[in-house]
Structure 1
Amino acid sequence: MPHMQNSPDLGRNSLDKKDPWAKFRGLAWWQLVLSIAPILLLPIGGAIGGAIGAAGMFANLSLARKPFGTPVKLVAMLGVALAAYLGYFLVAGLVYNLVKG
């Protein structure tokens, strides 16, 4: 029986530490841009923007790995990014009205 070589785990480095960038590797440039777009809410919206942006980023990273066609994937990822921004402004507006109200 021939010796079968184990394929490397791309999510780990040589010191067996988890690679924080593994989720981003192998994506097309436009998938990277759309995946990162929601997290840009962090400097705009602080903790609320960061939480909504992180959720959008992880949703887009998940969509980027799905076996959908490019047009479907593009529209879905754009929708997630747009929903993250609209969701942030909705939550920020509600919080503002509760505080100033």
Structure 2
Amino acid sequence: MQQLPDLEKNTLDKPDRWAKFRGLTWWQLVLSLAPILLLPIGGAIGGAFGGAGLFTNLSLARKPLGTPLKALAMLGVALASYLGYILVAGLLYNLIKG
């Protein structure tokens, strides 16, 4: 069996921070990065939901699923990130403004 190269380290033994993004198709990259757009919109709460969505989509992109199922699952995670942010931000707004 062929050994896959270790993408976590480069030649200088520094961790490769972009290794999780290498080898993905363009649509997988777009759907993976879509939730992180909550960071400038929602601050810490948006960043938390966006980061969770980003890493969940990166995990889904590496799973051996069919392309349509994978695309739908990644789109669902992105939408769930946005809906979760709207729900939590709305609840906090109502608690504060009462």
* Band of TM-score, shorter chain: over 0.9
1:18 aligns with 2:15: yes
SS at match of 1:94: helix
Which structure 1 residue ranges, 5 or more long, are not aligned? 1-5
Per the alignment, residue 60 of structure 2 pairs with 63
Mapped partners of 1:73, 1:56: distance in 2: 14
TM-score normalized by structure 2?
0.94
Of 15, 28, 31, 2:28 maps to 31
1:73 aligns with 2:70: yes
Aligned length: 96
1:93 aligns with 2:97: no
Question: Bigger CA drift: 8-17 or 75-84?
Answer: 8-17
SS at match of 2:90: helix
Q: CA deviation at 1:11?
A: 1.2
Mapped partners of 2:15, 2:49: distance in 1: 24
Q: CA deviation at 1:95?
A: 0.6
Which residue identity lines up with residue 51 of structure 2 in the other structure?
A: A
Q: Label 1:38 to 1:10 Cα distance change in 2 as closer, same or farther (>3 A).
A: same
TM-score normalized by structure 1?
0.92
